[in-house]
Amino acid sequence: MSLQSEILRRRTFAIISHPDAGKTTLTEKLLLFGGAIHVAGAVKSNKIKKTATSDWMEIEKQRGISVATSVMGFEYRNYKINILDTPGHQDFAEDTYRTLTAVDSVIIVVDTAKGVEAQTRKLMDVCRMRKTPVMIFVNKMDREGKDPFDLLDELESELGIHVRPLSWPINQGFSFKGVYNIHKENLELFTPNKQSISESVAFSDINNPELENYVGVHDANKLREDMELITGVYSKFDIKRYLAGELAPVFFGSALNNFGVKELLDCFVEIAPSPRPINTVEREIDPFEEAFSGFVFKIHANMDPNHRSCIAFVKICSGKFERNVNYKHVRHGKMMRFSSPTAFMAQKKETVDEAYAGDIVGLPDTGNFKIGDTLTGGEELHFKGIPSFSPEMFKYIENADPMKTKQLDKGVNQLMDEGVAQLFVNQYNGRKIIGTVGQLQFEVIQYRLLHEYNAQCRWDPISLYKACWIESADAVELDNFKKRKAQYMAKDKSGRDVFLADSGYVLQMAQNDFKNIKFHFTSEF
């Protein structure tokens, strides 16, 4: 197969949602259709080896679960599909944000009863920022939930995107009878079964009186009314608007009962984009270029605690990656070759000889990589920064054992490179501040520093509201601001100016008083 046709059949996407919306279940059912696993439940069981059952290892287990199955590849209808399963827990949101830089499209899972939740809103912001095409799967239709039309209104207002249903539920909860597949014009009848697939009836004309035989008079009339309303309210599905990230197709179903998933997958492989061009500082990279290029979007240390090994996850952006071929590590300016690159198939990790644009490979890392690093066939390229979002929790980090200062510094630097949290150095007193998106991360850092770097740290409280990256074309005003806010000024790991606001009111006043200063809540600007 030619390079072009290999790349065109790639579909790389992330599944994102609020915790408990059914993300893992949906991932599992997609793998089931792709033949990557043969029985439901395989993703959850045997996800990670049993570890000591202390609270600390529970944290590690949570961390492990979100990583061990983070990339899964399978073949379906002659398409090569790569799923990136993201952590739903908000304490690991930073991990999810970075994962979104490595995908070409996204499926958002929404719980029909709970609707749009806070975490989903945040993740959608990232998709909007990157103009990533989005599909929505409304899950748990076999349970009582919100009215589908109300839910569509909520999706539009909360996620800030136009929606167009491509399937429509016939009732819900106990009286759920199935969905009408608008995209393919057929009727999918629901039979609750976790292992097998419900029956499908070709039904292009819903005004046909035979519909009553399948769903009853009341539901047949309701479906016809709903379809009329959908046609009147929502414009036709436009694939160009979907690919531009302006329109989200919506599907309804029940992942647990294997229902509505095949419709989602069939439509997805048809309309979702193959690998798309990516911007670098120097130029735009086209996936069909012959020369290989890729970037590291995630590093995970100690995936296998027995070997203390790190794996760098590389998204291939153009060309073809080959095992044992020399590639340029742009930041180090040196050539490197990799004898055991891995691909992840469900839980199995296997060595790959070649991979194409759109694929994700794991490279063994002995400390050579940082998040955002570029690998190329020789060209000097720098992929645009992977965004860090303003943390929401802050603590001073102090050395609890003065004899282990070197170990602590090394540990903190490596964990920050891995993207576990963000480090700020207060310019007023020189103290180091760690910023995270969740309390759990502080415990993870403390545990990993002790067990992986033999360094002890303790946390001192600090009351801060937000970290904002600041910039201004007006040097005098910037200087005045830094002098006035001296004790709240810090530098991030890249040496950029960061204002640590201690309350929302203080931040608002600063924005009002200094009109020529831009306040950014993400490090990519």
> Using one digit for the tens of pLDDT, what is the confidence trace for 481-508?
999 999 999 999 889 999 999 999 999 9
Per-residue pLDDT of the chain (525 residues; tens, 9 = 90+): 788 999 999 999 988 887 778 877 888 888 877 765 544 444 444 443 333 323 333 444 555 444 334 678 888 888 999 888 776 556 566 677 778 888 999 999 999 999 888 778 888 888 888 889 999 999 998 889 999 999 999 999 999 999 999 999 888 888 888 888 888 887 877 776 555 555 566 666 777 787 888 788 888 899 889 999 998 999 889 999 999 999 999 999 988 888 888 888 989 999 999 999 988 888 899 999 999 999 998 877 655 555 556 788 899 999 999 999 999 999 899 999 998 888 875 446 678 889 999 999 988 887 788 888 899 998 999 887 666 778 889 999 999 999 999 999 988 988 887 777 899 999 999 999 999 877 878 988 898 888 888 999 999 999 999 999 999 999 999 999 999 999 999 999 889 999 999 999 999 999 999 999 999 988 765
Structural domain includes residue 385: no
In a domain, 473, yes or no: yes
* Inter-CA distances, 164 with 72, 230, 454, Å: 28, 8, 54
Full residue range of the structural domain in which residue 44 is found: 3-271
Q: What is the pLDDT of residue 127?
A: 86
Domain endpoint, select from 253, 271, 289 = 271
Do residues 318 and 450 both lie within one domain?
A: no
User: Is residue 229 domain-resident?
Assistant: yes
Sequential DSSP letters for 66-128: HHHTSEEEEEETTEEEEEEEPP-SGGGHHHHHHHGGG-SEEEEEEETTTBS-HHHHHHHHHHH
> What is the model's pLDDT at position 40?
41
- Amino acid 90: pLDDT: 60
Same domain, 258 and 403: no
Burial class (CB in 10 A: 0-12, 13-18, 19+), 171: middle
Q: Is residue 388 part of a domain?
A: no
Residue 351 sits in the same domain as residue 212: no
Same domain, 506 and 417: yes
Q: Which of 219, 253, 271 is the last residue of a domain?
A: 271
Q: Could you tell me if 25 and 140 lie in one domain? A: yes
Say how far apart CA 212 and CA 101 lie, in whole Å.
47
Examine the domain organization and report whether 327 and 454 are in the same domain. no
Domain co-membership, 145 together with 251: yes
Could you say which of 208, 241, 271 is where a domain stops?
271
Asked if 352 and 212 sit in the same domain, the reply is no
Total domains, the chain: 3
Under a CB-based contact definition with an 8 Å cutoff, are residues 197 and 283 in contact?
no
Q: What is the pLDDT of residue 196?
A: 52
CATH number at residue 347: 3.40.50.300
Comparing CA positions, the residue from 8, 71, 22, 37 lying closest to residue 269 is 8
Spatial distance between the Cα atoms of 329 and 467, rounded to a whole number of angstroms: 31
Residue 267 and residue 285 share a domain: no
Which CATH number covers residue 414? 3.30.70.3280
Enumerate residues 6+ apart whose C-beta is below 8 A from 76: 33, 34, 35, 265, 269
Residue 27 lies in a domain: yes
Identify whether residues 79 and 185 lie together within a single domain.
Answer: yes
Q: Reduced to 3 DSSP states, what percent helix, strand and coil does the chain have, rounded to the nearest 5?
A: 30, 30, 40
pTM: 0.78
> 414 and 291 in one domain?
no
Q: Is residue 69 part of a domain?
A: yes
Q: Is residue 52 situated within a structural domain?
A: yes
Task: Tell me, yes or no, whether 285 and 162 share the same domain.
Answer: no
